Amino acid sequence: MKIVSYNVNGIRAAITKGFIDWLKSVNPDVVCLQEIKAQEAQLDLSLFEEAGYKYTYWYSAQKKGYSGVAILSKEKPDHIEFGTGIEYMDFEGRNIRADFNGVSIMSMYLPSGTNDDRLDFKLQYMADFQEYVNQLKEKYPNLVILGDYNICHEAIDIHNPVGLKNVSGFLPVEREWIGSFMESGFTDSFRVFNQEPDNYTWWSYRANARNNNKGWRLDYALVSKPLVDRLKRSVILSEAKHSDHCPILVELD
């Protein structure tokens, strides 16, 4: 099973930049999208069907043009779960899960904490999400949570760890949370295969950051412990340029 996760920063904008042709060339089985910024009715679903994704599930924010997640699949899932049942999370369309033959795949878009109000919101989300997942993995032990976590875990995951230590996305409280989240039963699949620095998934649009590779690794494919032995590869697809993020890919036996 080949799974791609991609914060597209607006699916309609990404389509105008060649997203569909890129999707055909990579040809994953399942696609997790974040920050779709669209309602299903605003999309031409035939584009995805022609690319091989007959089954598409969209979970938009109630606020138009904001947030939202989706899952595209070649095969019909056994079950789709829209949201978490936690109202303030679901209002912003941040979680969707699809179950396939004993493996549960979630597309998740964790909030940014760019100002004080949103940082408090993010910290609340993180705490409540941990509790939600603790219960979820009791029922679905084979769990893959992919998406934009809006956190760099370690100094190796950010281009300027000293200068950015007080910026949301690399705050000690955020880093501690994602570390403890992994310790609760998840593995950072990318680091199973790659321990090298300078591997990022997001770059600011400012100051030519992407060309200079001054980036942040904000996007993760975290796999639950029972799936670690089934990991075949986990890579960052940095050549894709339809967004300020790039996609990640994880493959399971």
Domain spans in the chain, listed from the N-terminal domain onward: 2-252
Strands 69-73 vs 55-59: parallel, antiparallel or unpaired: antiparallel
Write 230-237 long-range contacts (CB < 8 A, 24+).
231/187, 231/189, 231/192, 231/193, 233/193, 234/189, 234/190, 234/192, 234/193, 234/194, 235/190, 235/193, 235/194, 236/190, 236/199, 236/200, 236/201, 237/4, 237/26
Architecture of domain 2-252: 4-Layer Sandwich (3.60)
d(CA 47, CA 27): 14
Which residues, 6 or more positions from 108, have their beta carbon under 8 angstroms from its beta carbon?
A: 34, 69, 94, 95, 129, 145, 146, 147, 148, 149
Residue type present at position 160: N
* Residue 22, strand partner residues: none
Residue type present at position 223: V
Write out the two tokens for 87: 């109202």
| Length of the chain (residues) | 253
Q: For the whole prediction, is pTM greater than 0.75?
A: yes
Local confidence pLDDT in tens for the 253 residues of the chain: 999 999 999 999 999 999 999 999 999 999 999 999 999 999 999 999 999 999 999 999 999 999 999 999 999 999 999 999 999 999 999 999 999 999 999 999 999 998 878 999 999 999 999 999 999 999 999 999 999 999 999 999 999 999 999 999 999 999 999 999 999 999 999 999 999 999 999 999 999 999 999 999 999 999 999 999 999 999 999 999 999 999 999 999 9
DSSP 213: T
Which sequence positions are flagged as catalytic?
A: 148
